[in-house]
Structure 1
Amino acid sequence: MMFAYGETVAVLRAPLTDAPYGNQQRDWGSASRADSPGWGFAPRASDEAAPSDVPAVIVGLTGYGPPGVDVLPTDRLEVRGDVYEVVGEVGEWRSPFTGWEPGVEVALRRVYITEG
């Protein structure tokens, strides 16, 4: 799928590092950054509620990326200056009738704390 006015986003990918108690965690301070052109976005309603004792806002987007784009469920995307987490698996669109692959669909979310 090609958008006449598609946007370029940055795909952020963090390596795993050792964390306390033998666990591993993503090191976002050492994340790689790769530009990915040709994206389109639509607003997405949140399907989660913030805890009642935390004044937080959860916002989301649905991203439509080009076919073959390298995005993983553990990545983050920088869109219009804001960083979003990828939520769930990356959906690949493919027609069972023609094999046409227009691109991918990615659910994104950003959580930020509001002033109470």
Structure 2
Amino acid sequence: MFPLPDGETVVRVRRRLVLDPYSNEQTLGDWSDPDRLTVEGVAIAASSTVEAVNDSRSQVITQMSIYCGPDEDIRAHDRIEARSGLWEVQGDILTSPNPFTGWSPGSEFAIRKVDG
């Protein structure tokens, strides 16, 4: 089913693991040199947009859903470059495998962008 023949190409952006000098444990680094993975043939669907305005700030929060293959390496806390913007992955990546065959049509996850 995936990649979709008329789907879009997005880039998954992930912070690399670095060694914490204080605990000697692997921890997520900063965004200065992220790991990038191109994902082709995904479907992107509009979900919602909200404008929040108060006396000191005006924000537009936009959310969309992405549908991709079930084995794509995308996780919560990644970022996605799509449609000329940088989006944050919101929550877990959801798959719905068939309980009788184990076949999965794909995965879905939400992305969000805040402007303002």
Under a length normalisation based on structure 1, what TM-score does the superposition of the two structures give?
0.80
2:115 equivalent in structure 1: 112
1:39 equivalent in structure 2: 42
Aligned residues: 107
Give the alignment partner of residue 92 of structure 1, picking from 68, 91, 95.
Answer: 95
- Stretches of structure 2 that go unaligned for 5 or more consecutive residues are 21-26
How many Å apart are 1:51 and its aligned residue? 7.0
2:13 equivalent in structure 1: 12
Q: How does 1:21-40 map to 2 (within 5 A)?
A: 26-40=29-43
CA contact (8 A) 1:65 1:105 kept: yes
CA distance in 1, matches of 2:113, 2:107: 20
Q: Which one has a larger percent helix, Structure 1 or Structure 2?
A: 1
CA distance in 1, matches of 2:110, 2:28: 22
- Aligned residue type for 2:79: R
- Aligned residue type for 2:73: D
CA distance in 2, matches of 1:103, 1:78: 20
Coordinate RMSD, CA, aligned? 2.2
- CA gap 1:50/1:15 in 2 versus in 1, 3 angstroms: farther
Deviations 1:34-92 (A, max 9, x none): 1011200100115x774734211000110001120000101001112211100001101
CA contact (8 A) 1:93 1:105 kept: no
- CA gap 1:50/1:34 in 2 versus in 1, 3 angstroms: same
SS at match of 1:41: strand
- Aligned residue type for 1:7: E
CA contact (8 A) 2:76 2:89 kept: yes
- Aligned residue type for 1:40: A
